Amino acid sequence: MSASEIPSDLFFNPTHEWIRVEGDTVTCGISDHAQAELTDVVFVELPALGKTVDAGDPTAVVESVKAASDIYAPLSGEVVEVNPAVESEPSLVNTDPYGAGWIFKLKITKPDQLPGLMTPEAYGEMIG
């Protein structure tokens, strides 16, 4: 997926997590670039509902045939929803990373952190 194919409504962390803002809640997942680097995802460890995280905290884990990777909270908040579909079908992270392969949702507590994330254009330049 080229930078021009990255959905324009997303923001990114340098550690390859994305968010989609929906009011005071954000949906989080890993980028298409990250899933391609991991190759076949075989397991997703979801965070506990109600877990409070600070930006940068390890929040979930994605395991592939190649490696296990922590998924970091892009913003501070509380986990208010998880995606059970990726537990039963971890390959969704590979096949639809910006859609059905989302991992968790956070109710954000520090919206002032949002400008610290990268735009799709900046992320595309980073992964170049």
DSSP per-residue codes, 6-72? S-TTEEE-TTSEEEEEETTEEEEEE-HHHHHHH-SEEEEEPPPTT-EE-TT-EEEEEEESS-EEEEE
Domain assignment present for residue 29? The answer is yes
pLDDT in tens, the chain (128 residues): 445 578 999 999 999 999 999 999 999 999 999 999 999 999 999 999 999 999 999 999 999 999 999 999 999 999 999 999 999 999 999 999 999 999 999 999 999 999 999 999 999 999 98
Parent domain of 96:
9-108
CATH number at residue 57: 2.40.50.100
Domain assignment present for residue 124? The answer is no
Domain assignment present for residue 54? The answer is yes
Domain assignment present for residue 74? The answer is yes
Domain assignment present for residue 120? The answer is no
Domain assignment present for residue 73? The answer is yes
The domain total for the chain is 1
pLDDT of residue 4: 57
